[in-house]
Structure formats: structure tokens, C-alpha cells
Amino acid sequence: MLCASSEAYLKKSEKQAIEWILEQTNPDHSALTLVRMNYYTFIRP
């Protein structure tokens, strides 16, 4: 339980960091990138 929740937390913070970097470097495509990342997050187990 603790391992699973901490792993989920790490994935979440890593995802937020990636989103922030992409937003800073390429604001024009940030919305599309977020949609794509959310798609992969929900589709992949």
C-alpha cells in the first residue's frame, strides 16, 4: 500500500515536472501535449 501510493506520487510529480518543462519550452503545443500525456496516463496500466 505504502509502496504503491509513493510510486503513484512519484509518477504524478514527475508528470507535473514534465508538463511544466514542456509548457516553458513550447507554450504553443502545451495543451495538445497535456491531452496526449493524459491519454497515455489513463490508457496504460
The answer to whether the CB of 37 falls within 8 A of the CB of 19 is: yes
The answer to whether the CB of 31 falls within 8 A of the CB of 38 is: no
Digits of tens for pLDDT over the chain (45 positions)? 456 677 777 778 888 887 777 777 665 665 666 676 666 666 655
Nine-digit cell string for 30: 502545451
Which three-class secondary structure state does DSSP give residue 39? helix
Q: What is the pLDDT of residue 12?
A: 80
Domain residue spans of the chain: 18-44
- pTM score, two decimals? 0.37
